[in-house]
Structure 1
């Protein structure tokens, strides 16, 4: 939704991971089919780029997440647990903000709007 609301100004990237309650327990080739027919279903087609399934924690952490977690500390309301459900906002190629696992991604729009206002000045 947000990517279509801010075309040419916002890019959303999805990294499926099976480390959080087994949400992505299918193979890479089955992930898009699963989105379309199972969860969320109803013919859902993501309007953003979906990468191959990766790990965001542990010894096989994808380099993107290793970099982001190194650059941005734990959010204040997130306990320092071994298993993290990372959500990041990147601004002009640089890590800007890390959100806690309690943060609902739907609420990210005010931060996006604030950053987009910065580019107008």
Structure 2
């Protein structure tokens, strides 16, 4: 999808079950040799690790969360699993929550972490088709 200007960015975070304690290089090694392993190298940009919720959240996530409605109305059982305060309904619920940002820099979609990737792919594909069909008629 690169010819269409589509880029995937990954933002590691350690706020969900303390599952991402390492540095950027440790995270890359972990992906390659442990999970998923077998020489895996991400085909997306991996950003520096930071907070996505709470008092120290990165500003990009403040913007994204304000731009899209929440993907659920609860956090399940947060105690011992979620490491930020205060909890807010619009917070990112868990690792692998996804946002789609349009070419104008505005967030247009948000998916719960448990949404099947085939749904995400279909939504993105349909969005790009609509976007580029509109451009060709303008």
TM-score (norm 1): 0.83
Matches within 5 A, 1:28-43: 28-43=24-39
In structure 2, distance between residues paired with 1:13 and 1:112 = 14
Aligned residue in 2 for 1:23: 19
Q: 5+ unaligned residues in a row in structure 1: which ranges?
A: 1-5
User: Does the 8 Å contact 2:67/2:106 carry over to 1?
Assistant: no
Counterpart in the other structure of 2:81: none
Cα displacement string for residues 46-73 of structure 1 (whole angstroms, at most 9, x for unaligned residues): 0110001111011110111111001111
Match of 1:7 in 2: 2
TM-score, normalised by the number of residues in structure 2: 0.74
Alpha-carbon RMSD: 1.7
Residue of structure 1 equivalent to 2:121: 109
Equivalent pairs, count: 114
Residues 14 and 51, structure 2, Cα contact 8 Å, conserved in 1: yes
SS across alignment from 1:18: coil
